[in-house]
Amino acid sequence: DSGVTQTPKHLITATGQRVTLRCSPRSGDLSVYWYQQSLDQGLQFLIQYYNGEERAKGNILERFSAQQFPDLHSELNLSSLELGDSALYFCASSGGSFENTEAFFGQGTRLTVV
């Protein structure tokens, strides 16, 4: 158990809909990362938050947004969903010091858009 909790584990929704994925980081970790993993694109970095502030942005679509709340949990919002958004979405967290930079991953949320 990595200590990172993602909910829900599975999500099936229709095209055009909006969903919210939730991530609770390990206790004490300040950074949260979101990744998308699909068969054709591999593991893609979407966005990183550090202590409530956006820290880095990757290949995140404009239809997607994220935020990190004061209690450090994070949500990834996906809107106007398309079939191609079907993927495994991972959240990871890491600590606030240079010595503690490794990321710990949740089990992922499998999103299926039909």
Partner 1 sequence: AQSVTQLDSHVSVSEGTPVLLRCNYSSSYSPSLFWYVQHPNKGLQLLLKYTSAATLVKGINGFEAEFKKSETSFHLTKPSAHMSDAAEYFCVVSDGGHDMRFGAGTRLTVKP
Q: Which residues contact partner 1 (rule: CB under 8 A)?
A: 2, 4, 31, 33, 35, 42-43, 45, 48, 50, 55-56, 90, 92, 94, 98-99, 101-108
- What span, in angstroms and rounded, lies between the C-alpha atoms of 52 and 48? 10
Nearer to partner 1, 22 or 55 (CB): 55
Nearer to partner 1, 17 or 112 (CB): 112
Which are the contacts of 86, defined by CB distance < 8 A and separation ≥ 6?
A: 38, 111, 112, 113
Nearer to partner 1, 12 or 56 (CB): 56
Q: Is the dihedral of CA 14, 59, 40, 25 positive or negative?
A: negative
